Amino acid sequence: MELEKTVGKYAQSVARWSSVRQGKSEKEVMMAADQNRKLAHNILIDIVNQISREYKKLGLTNSWRSDIIGNTRAELGDWALTIARKALNHE
């Protein structure tokens, strides 16, 4: 599923960014890692928004969007990292 793959890519990009930020990487490496993280985050937001719009088109409630994920970029990022951790731990 596209959402599952995107959540995984986002989690990987955050882990890479955290690793680079904590190390003594060159500025260019840090900037590239941050750009990749932001791009993955934007793609994730787009996919979640597309799913939400499809629910609405079908006449289904899309309250899950704000109930489960939230409405801010930070909330969506936190949700994605939680899902990725659970998937990696096979919870």
Q: 54 or 1, which is more confident?
A: 54
pLDDT value of residue 57: 94
Q: Where are the domains of the chain?
A: 2-88
pLDDT, residue 60, reads 93
Distance CA 82, CA 86 (A): 6
| Verdict on whether the full-model pTM lies above 0.85 | no
Residues 23, 3: Cα–Cα separation, whole Å = 30
pLDDT in tens, 29-84: 778 888 888 888 888 888 888 988 999 999 999 888 888 788 888 888 888 888 77
Residue 90 has pLDDT above 80, yes or no: no
Measured distance CA(39)–CA(22) in Å, rounded: 21
